[in-house]
Amino acid sequence: MPDAVSAVLTVLTIFNAIQYVQQEDVDVYINGNQVAETTPEQIIQEGEQRRQEILIAAQEHKQRILSQTTLR
């Protein structure tokens, strides 16, 4: 039984550490110079914005292809 309790506490400790790390700011350094500072929320927002840009570009490309094929 003590082994089970120890295992559960270990898992909870690791889970809490992972949550803490995920909430921390991310600083990016190149050659010792800080070039970016972002938060996890910013990373998620930027990814979602990029996803939307890609979807819009794909839809525009599809429309161009469809309009070219109908003209022929």
22 Cβ contact partners less than 8 Å away, ≥ 6 residues apart? 40
pLDDT in tens, 9-44: 787 787 676 666 555 666 667 777 766 676 667 778
* Between 16 and 72, the higher pLDDT residue: 16
Query: For the chain, what are the domain ranges?
Result: 1-38, 39-72
CB 35 within 8 A of CB 24: no
Amino acid at 33: N
Say if pTM beats, i.e. exceeds, 0.75. no
pLDDT in tens, 42-64: 778 888 999 999 999 999 998 98
